[in-house]
Amino acid sequence: MSIQQNYEILRKEVPSHVTIIAAVKTRTVNEVERAIDAGVVDVGENYVQEAAKLREALGEKASRVRWHMIGHLQTNKINKALKIFDMIQTVDSIEQAESIHRRAANNQKVIPVLIEINSGGELSKSGLKPEDEPVEHLVRAAAKMKSIRVDGIMTMGPLFENPERMRPYFRKTRNIFQRIRSLGIEGVQFNTLSMGMSDSYRVAIEEGSTMIRVGTLLFGPRY
Ligand SMILES: *Cc1c(COP(=O)(O)O)cnc(C)c1O
């Protein structure tokens, strides 16, 4: 099936309050262009440099969509990332939040961010411990930084063949999300929960996701 058909089917299936991010790592300019033409309005990239190249090649079309940083962001790439992305989904320390805040302030910007949680506690993955306390600590600190806006939480979770096995990790993340939201911290909206990928988006939505990130489902397998 075409990218357009894949997107249309998914958009119909997924509730309208759930944002669909097209995860475009390794995809060609042409593929991304077809996704935008099909109606995709949110694009996710894992690398600053790749996103810069894509935006450049897409020209005017690039500004029709919102760009999400969904990979680990290195400190020396923050300035460039601020020019390219509308949201950074991978903030996982106060130091990093502070670095982004300072640079955004210099550019007279306010950048929306999500806190990344390592819900499976995997050594290979970045993100905060999946517990209330460290997340609350970071959100309270970030709430005072006027050039970032903390909108919610993002998680990858461990990958399993069977998406049902991801449910406990999504549920744990959702519980942390709701707990933090219920605190009503000043300056914090906390209405975005980014979780679920091609194999797991259904389970993630059942567990409260408001934003899914899909690559394979739209574009086919990565080689
Ligand atoms: C690649 C990627 C996705 C999408 O993965 P698929 O399995 O292709 O849907 C989602 N989120 C992040 C952070 C990714 O790196």
Residue 150: per-residue pLDDT: 98
Calpha distance 62→56 (Å, rounded): 8
Calpha distance 198→166 (Å, rounded): 13
Q: Is the CB of 216 under 6 A from ligand 1?
A: yes
Residue in 197, 212, 222 to alter for ligand 1 test, most ligand atoms within 8 A of Cβ: 197
Residue with tokens 């042409």: 30
Q: Is the CB of 103 under 6 A from ligand 1?
A: no
Residue 222: per-residue pLDDT: 87
Please report, in tens digits, the pLDDT of each residue of the chain (223 residues total).
899 999 999 999 999 999 999 999 999 999 999 999 999 999 999 999 999 999 999 999 999 999 999 999 999 999 999 999 999 999 999 999 999 999 999 999 999 999 999 999 999 999 999 999 999 999 999 999 999 999 999 999 999 999 999 999 999 999 999 999 999 999 898 999 999 999 999 999 999 999 999 999 999 998 7
Residue in 6, 42, 70, 126 to alter for ligand 1 test, most ligand atoms within 8 A of Cβ: 70
Of 27, 20, 64, 19, which Cα lies nearest the Cα of 45? 27
Residue 167: per-residue pLDDT: 98
The per-residue b/e assignment along 28-37, b for 16 or more CB within 10 angstroms, e otherwise, is eeeebbbbbe
Q: Is the CB of 215 under 6 A from ligand 1?
A: yes
The amino acid present at 151, given as its one-letter code, is D
Residue 223: per-residue pLDDT: 78
Residue 70: per-residue pLDDT: 98
- The residue whose C-alpha atom lies closest to atom 10 belonging to ligand 1 is 213
Dihedrals phi, psi of 196, to nearest 5 degrees: 110, 130
In Å, how far are 50, 131, 172, 195, 197 from 121, measured between CA atoms? Answer: 28, 10, 12, 15, 18
Calculate how far, in angstroms, residue 186's C-alpha sits from the geometric centre of ligand 1.
32
Residue 1: per-residue pLDDT: 87
In the chain, how many domains are there? 1
Q: Is the CB of 140 under 6 A from ligand 1?
A: no
Calculate how far, in angstroms, residue 106's C-alpha sits from the geometric centre of ligand 1.
31
213 CA: nearest ligand 1 atom: 10
Q: Is the CB of 46 under 6 A from ligand 1?
A: yes
Task: Give residue 72's domain range.
Answer: 3-219
The whole-angstrom distance between residue 98's C-alpha and the CA centroid of its chain comes to 19
| Beta-bridge mates of residue 114 | 152
Of 118, 93, 96, 126, which Cα lies nearest the Cα of 173? 118
CATH code of the domain covering residue 203: 3.20.20.10
Dihedrals phi, psi of 185, to nearest 5 degrees: -65, 135
Residue 33: per-residue pLDDT: 98
CB–CB of 6/218 below 8 Å?
A: yes
- The residue whose C-alpha atom lies closest to atom 12 belonging to ligand 1 is 70
Of 178, 90, 87, which Cα lies nearest the Cα of 136? 178
* Segment 154-213, tens digit of pLDDT: 999 999 999 999 999 999 999 999 999 999 999 898 999 999 999 999 999 999 999 999
